[in-house]
Chains A and B, each alone.
Chain A
């Protein structure tokens, strides 16, 4: 009866000689140069982060800057001793900004690369397509997507968005400003997929609460290359055009809007997504002067930037105009990519809280992330302070409303965290791990 419980050392093949060899090798590694930094760790194997990147497809501009920001954050984390004393390694796989491919990439990270977590997805349809694969593989999946899908609690317990506020909260926080300063009759133009539907669904009630209304909603496929044909649908009595576009043709979208209206235009309130990675001083965009944009984090350096914000910009390598240092034409996706930096620091905090050692501790990591409540502004969170709701896996931060003035974006209003809080729609923590 007791036989199955006994453990016979002689049968494991561990001889005195191999034990000595192992000890010697371990000692040799410990004194090797560069190893000292991680010497407290029980295991010095790197923590592997699978980065699901939009390297190709319609999200390529974001993918490139998400990679740059991630590389900068990982360098900062490793220079400061890594996570739990272990170095962090990023493995990048391209998802082609495609939901089907996204799910395959998550599977590849789980079975082939055996990463500790998966991270970094932006486009909402890719997140929604990949989330079931992450849940199935019990793989913590940290997205930087902005969509409301995580907070809606319609995904699963392994999906988190701790680095960027979701669209529903952004809209709720900004609606009072739009109604008070831009106009009461709003026409919406949005991309015809999940991310756009968040705007379609949450703006009308948010504006209604402020005594304004959405009078028309125009959906445009994100792969569209010509936009003038949609503009006659904008009602003549429109006071504000609320626009948010994504995809490779965003510059065409804004240019054609300018051709259509010229300077005789309604007020414009746009999500900077409509011009992310695009120079606002491109020819044909002069009509944008005086219009307003949402920015998650400001593209242009502001006079009141914190020391942390300045250090973050320097680390990522963007100049005061939000373009790559040394290449003023290479404009960043500053309004979104800060989320990669902040998410990686949340992962670090949660892994340290959980005493994370390896994939067997993934459930502990999920619980430790859910236990987080607040992120203070600083080096780890340069965009600003945030609160985190562990039940819906979503963080809430401040939003910036910027005005185009003299070819730059100047922040004219910052919302408060409380402006964007809403009743949770569910609770992930009740789901089994």
Chain B
């Protein structure tokens, strides 16, 4: 294959990775930014979203698009409810202590994963894409659905951006992130903001999973790789910085796509990890992060 089309394919693959990664990492970054909680169970909310998408889409007969749309709406809501429950039951009782919540979310990771294994099983199950249009380029064919994932993710990211920067809810969240004590003094129900943010973070992961599951199938171990990549993205972008998360997601996604295509996927992971090390050494707050006050 010639260099031009080769690069195009690499860029497309990279953009699909970026799109999903950006949604998922945004959730992780939001939870850390506002609550200062490192949510190790984030990958399992992603997996739960995919598994629920399978359950919902198989329960609804008729055109595959119906089941998929239902999954796109319902799966994140259910995952959000699960996250809310976990937050009330566990994180709040630990007073959001940073060390304790890491251990607690590791526990949540295993509980969710093993419950999925028990009730869903160890098989990888496919979800039918809402449409299966194959775009025929002169050099290779490409899945139309994959392109729509990029578009859908961009829309969702824009919506999240709008909520955070242009609405009152967003203002409250940012105030809590900036200084939770002062926010509380001004009458912001910090406790409820925390609960909402944790649920929202999990829902972003679930949406990402519903978008990706027609491409890659639901499996109980599928949360591990995306979790690692999300952490890489969040660390490079700067913990708590939304702009940094987005830029880093596109950077990591594209470099992953391009390096994987031209060299090897293993090398892509090696370089991403190396980048994290470099960032931690030379710019610990991340590319767009602000030094902690």
Q: Which residue of B lies closest to A219 (CB)?
A: B264
Q: Is A260 an interface residue (CB 8 A)?
A: yes
B104-137, CB < 8 A from A: 117, 121-124, 126, 128, 132, 134, 136
Chain B residues, Cβ within 8 Å of A282: 126
B242-257, CB < 8 A from A: 257
Chain A residues, Cβ within 8 Å of B136: 262
Q: Which residue of B lies closest to A247 (CB)?
A: B124
Q: Cβ of A221 and Cβ of B266 under 8 Å apart? A: yes
Q: Bin chain B's interface residue count.
A: 20 to 34
Task: Tell me the bound Cα distance from A225 to B13 in angstroms.
Answer: 12
Q: Is A275 an interface residue (CB 8 A)?
A: no
Q: Cβ of A226 and Cβ of B216 under 8 Å apart? A: yes
Q: Which residue of B lies closest to A63 (CB)?
A: B122
Chain B residues, Cβ within 8 Å of A406: none
Contact residue among B134, B215, B257 (Cβ-Cβ distance under 8 Å from A229)? B257
Chain A residues, Cβ within 8 Å of B17: 226
**B292 vs chain A, min Cβ distance (A):** 35
Q: A225-B216, A232-B9 are in contact. Are A248 and B123 (CB under 8 A)?
A: yes
Q: Is B1 an interface residue (CB 8 A)?
A: yes
Task: Tell me the bound Cα distance from A61 to B125 in angstroms.
Answer: 11
What string of 1s and 0s marks CB contacts (under 8 Å) between B79-101 and chain A?
00000000000000000000000
Q: Cβ of B219 and Cβ of A260 under 8 Å apart? A: no
Task: Tell me the bound Cα distance from A256 to B265 in angstroms.
Answer: 17
Most B CB atoms within 10 A — which of A60, A230, A261? A60
Closest 4 CB pairs of A and B: A60-B122, A248-B124, A229-B260, A225-B216
Q: Is A326 an interface residue (CB 8 A)?
A: no
A221-271, CB < 8 A from B: 221, 223-226, 228-232, 236, 248-249, 251-252, 256, 259-262
Q: Is A44 an interface residue (CB 8 A)?
A: no
Q: A225-B225, A228-B9, A262-B136 are in contact. Are A252 and B261 (CB under 8 A)?
A: no
Q: Is A429 an interface residue (CB 8 A)?
A: no
**B15 vs chain A, min Cβ distance (A):** 12
Task: Tell me the bound Cα distance from A223 to B1 in angstroms.
Answer: 26
Chain B residues, Cβ within 8 Å of A248: 123-124, 217, 219, 221
CB pairs A–B below 8 angstroms (8 shown): A56-B117, A60-B121, A60-B122, A231-B140, A232-B1, A248-B221, A251-B217, A260-B142
Chain A residues, Cβ within 8 Å of B233: none
Task: Tell me the bound Cα distance from A277 to B122 in angstroms.
Answer: 13
Q: Is B10 an interface residue (CB 8 A)?
A: yes
**A256 vs chain B, min Cβ distance (A):** 8
**B208 vs chain A, min Cβ distance (A):** 13
Chain B residues, Cβ within 8 Å of A284: 132
Q: Is B199 an interface residue (CB 8 A)?
A: no
Contact residue among A57, A223, A252, A283 (Cβ-Cβ distance under 8 Å from B132)? A283
Q: Is B141 an interface residue (CB 8 A)?
A: yes
Q: Is A55 an interface residue (CB 8 A)?
A: yes
**A185 vs chain B, min Cβ distance (A):** 16
Task: Tell me the bound Cα distance from A35 to B141 in angstroms.
Answer: 66
Q: Is B6 an interface residue (CB 8 A)?
A: yes
Chain B residues, Cβ within 8 Å of A56: 117, 122
Q: Which residue of A lies closest to B1 (CB)?
A: A232
Q: Is B35 an interface residue (CB 8 A)?
A: no
Interface size counted on chain A using CB atoms at 8 A: 31
Task: Tell me the bound Cα distance from A260 to B9 in angstroms.
Answer: 10
Q: Cβ of A260 and Cβ of B261 under 8 Å apart? A: no
**A394 vs chain B, min Cβ distance (A):** 29
Q: Cβ of B217 and Cβ of A252 under 8 Å apart? A: yes
Q: Which residue of B lies closest to A261 (CB)?
A: B141
Chain A residues, Cβ within 8 Å of B215: 226, 252
**A58 vs chain B, min Cβ distance (A):** 8
Chain B residues, Cβ within 8 Å of A64: 122-123
Q: Is B222 an interface residue (CB 8 A)?
A: yes
Contact residue among A63, A249, A259, A277 (Cβ-Cβ distance under 8 Å from B216)? A249
Task: Tell me the bound Cα distance from A55 to B123 in angstroms.
Answer: 10
Q: A252-B215, A283-B128 are in contact. Are A260 and B123 (CB under 8 A)?
A: no
Contact residue among A229, A236, A252, A259 (Cβ-Cβ distance under 8 Å from B141)? A259
Q: Cβ of B123 and Cβ of A221 under 8 Å apart? A: no
Q: A225-B216, A232-B1, A252-B215 are in contact. Are A262 and B10 (CB under 8 A)?
A: no
Q: A224-B265, A248-B219, A251-B124 are in contact. Are A262 and B134 (CB under 8 A)?
A: yes
Chain A residues, Cβ within 8 Å of B6: 232
Q: A248-B219, A251-B124, A251-B217 are in contact. Are A262 and B266 (CB under 8 A)?
A: no
Q: Cβ of A262 and Cβ of B141 under 8 Å apart? A: yes
Q: Cβ of B261 and Cβ of A229 under 8 Å apart? A: yes
Q: Which residue of A lies closest to B258 (CB)?
A: A229
Q: A221-B266, A232-B6, A283-B128 are in contact. Are A249 and B217 (CB under 8 A)?
A: yes
Chain A residues, Cβ within 8 Å of B140: 231-232, 260-261
Q: Which residue of A lies closest to B14 (CB)?
A: A229
B205-223, CB < 8 A from A: 215-217, 219, 221-222
Chain A residues, Cβ within 8 Å of B222: 225
B173-222, CB < 8 A from A: 215-217, 219, 221-222
Q: Is B165 an interface residue (CB 8 A)?
A: no
Q: A226-B215, A252-B216 are in contact. Are A61 and B134 (CB under 8 A)?
A: no
**B269 vs chain A, min Cβ distance (A):** 10
Contact residue among B141, B221, B260, B266 (Cβ-Cβ distance under 8 Å from A260)? B141
Q: Is B167 an interface residue (CB 8 A)?
A: no
Q: Is B148 an interface residue (CB 8 A)?
A: no
Q: Which residue of B lies closest to A284 (CB)?
A: B132
Q: Which residue of A lies closest to B141 (CB)?
A: A262
